[in-house]
């Protein structure tokens, strides 16, 4: 059984071309650096890492930079729109479990309507409502984090990967 596992892994690795492996390694390095910066931001901002909503955004923007949800409009706009929806629902209902679920659903609609669809941002309204977070959460970590992640992705893709990113800013 153990040999089958090792053989299958070896075949999968040898089946990849070197370019694909290198691209994955570079993306992994970029993701690790960005997560490290996010952890530092968590400590500096005195927010537990669990309420910093960017881990999956980092994976998307670094690993799939050409897709629409990885563009700055979606990255920044999606996080802002969903946090605002979360705060609106929190203001209307209080920190109820059903309200957190409704806020996530409404934030999906809001992202579609505003052209800012960024799936990782769907965690924001859940965090805002269920954690009864203060309004300052919108500025730090949400806005500051989204802008910093956009800047990091710009530098990473242009200087390290030597590829154009983003496709468009708005």
| pLDDT tens-digit readout, 109-160 | 999 999 999 999 999 999 999 999 999 999 988 998 899 999 999 999 999 8
Ramachandran category for residue 115: left, alpha or beta (phi over 0 → left; psi -120 to 50 → alpha): left
Q: Are 158 and 129 in contact (CB under 8 A)?
A: no
CA angle 19, 69, 91 (to 5 degrees): 145
On the 0-12 / 13-18 / 19+ scale of CB atoms within 10 A, 44 is: exposed
Question: pTM above the 0.75 mark?
Answer: yes
Q: How many CB atoms lie within 10 A of CB 86?
A: 29
Q: Where are the domains of the chain?
A: 2-160
């Amino acid at each position: 059984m153990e040999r089958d596992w090792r053989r299958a892994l070896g075949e999968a690795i040898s089946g990849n071309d070197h370019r694909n492996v290198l691209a994955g390694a570079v993306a992994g390095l970029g993701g690790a650096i960005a997560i490290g910066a996010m952890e530092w931001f968590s400590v500096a901002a005195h927010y537990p890492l669990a309420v910093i909503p960017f881990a999956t955004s980092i994976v998307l923007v670094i690993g799939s930079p050409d897709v629409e949800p990885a563009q700055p409009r979606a990255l920044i706009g999606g996080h802002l729109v969903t946090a605002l929806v979360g705060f609106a629902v929190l203001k209307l209902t209080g920190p109820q479990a059903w309200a957190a679920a409704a806020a996530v659903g409404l934030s999906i609609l809001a992202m579609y309507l505003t052209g800012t669809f960024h799936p990782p941002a769907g965690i924001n309204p859940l965090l805002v409502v269920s954690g009864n977070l203060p309004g300052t959460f919108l500025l730090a970590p949400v806005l500051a984090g989204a802008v910093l992640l956009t800047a990091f992705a710009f530098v990473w893709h242009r200087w390290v990967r030597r590829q154009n990113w983003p496709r468009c800013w708005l």
